[in-house]
Amino acid sequence: MSRRNYVNEINFVTGNKHKLEEVKHILEPYGISVKRVTVDKLEIQSNDLCEIAEYSAKIVAERLRIPVVVEDAGLFIEALNGFPGPYSSYVFKTIGNEGILKLMRGVKNRRARFVSAVAYASPNGFVKVFIGVTEGLISIEPRGEYGFGFDPIFIPYEGDGRTFGEMTLDEKSRISHRGKAFRSLAKWLTGH
Ligand code: IMP
C-alpha cells in the first residue's frame, strides 16, 4: 500500500488567506486538514501554470524536507488572448478589476476561464499536478463582496448568473477551478 493512503494533512504553501480558507473548506469533507506553510517568494517566470506550481512545489519540498502542496491560479480572457493568465497576480495588484473592465469596454466576446494548477511534491523529487478549470464570462460591472481577486467580475457558466463575488465560499467552491483541482488531489491522497 502506498504511503499516500494515510494522508490526512497537507502542508499548503500560500501567502493568500482567502485561498487557505477555500482549501480548508474544500478538503474538510475528505478528512484532510490544512497546515499553512509560508516561504519566500520563489515563482519562476513561465507561461504555464502547471510548470510554475510544479517547480515551486519541488523546490519547497526539497528545502523543507516535507511533502508540500502549491497552487498557481489565473484568469484567462479569450478576447485578450489569454491575458492576464500567469500574470494574474501582478495584473490584479496593478490595474485591478477596474483595469480589466476598462480593457473589456465595448468587447462583445466576454468569455474567460479560471484555471488552477495544484502540485503535490515530496522531498524525494516526486511531483504530481492536478488541474481545475471553470469557464464563464467577464461581467460588465464588478458585483459582490465575497471572495477575492477577480471574483467580482467573473460569472461562471455553472452558476445562476451571479459572479463568484456574489457567492458564499461554499457556493463558489462547488464549481470553482480551485474546488475541482483540490478535490482531484483529495481523491488521489485518500486513494479514492
Ligand atoms: P496566484 O498566483 O495563484 O496567487 O493567483 C494569481 C491571481 O489570480 C491572484 O492574485 C488573484 O488575483 C487571481 N485569482 C486566482 N484565483 C482566484 C479566484 O479564485 N478568484 C479570484 N481571483 C483569483
Burial 3-37 (b: 16+ CB within 10 A, else e): eeeebeebbbbbeeeebeebbebbbeebebebeeb
> For residue 41, what pLDDT band results from cuts at 50, 70 and 90?
low
Q: Which atom of ligand 1 is nearest to the CA of 14?
A: 4
Domains detected in the chain: 9-190 (3.90.950.10)
pLDDT in tens, 10-28: 999 999 999 999 999 999 9
| Whole-number percent of the chain with pLDDT over 90 | 91
CA of 5 to the centre of ligand 1 (A): 30
pLDDT in tens, 116-152: 999 999 999 999 999 999 999 999 999 999 999 999 9
Pick the residue whose CA is nearest to atom 13 on ligand 1: 149
Query: Can you say whether the dihedral through the CA atoms of 80, 181, 177, 19 is positive or negative?
Result: negative
Ligand 1: does its nearest atom lie under 6 Å from the Cβ of 16?
A: yes
29, pLDDT greater than 80: yes
Ligand 1: does its nearest atom lie under 6 Å from the Cβ of 178?
A: yes
Ligand 1: does its nearest atom lie under 6 Å from the Cβ of 119?
A: no
Can you spell out the DSSP letters for 36-97? EE-----PPP-S-HHHHHHHHHHHHHHHHTS-EEEEEEEEEEGGGTT-BGGGHHHHHHHTHH
Calpha distance 113→85 (Å, rounded): 9
CA of 187 to the centre of ligand 1 (A): 23
- The pLDDT value recorded for residue 3 is 47
pLDDT in tens, 158-186: 999 999 999 999 999 999 999 999 999 99
Ligand 1: does its nearest atom lie under 6 Å from the Cβ of 167?
A: no
Positions annotated as catalytic residues are 72
Q: pTM for the full model? A: 0.95
- The pLDDT value recorded for residue 40 is 81
Ligand 1: does its nearest atom lie under 6 Å from the Cβ of 89?
A: yes
pLDDT in tens, 58-71: 999 999 999 999 99
Residue whose entry in the numeric block shows the C-alpha cell 473589456: 104
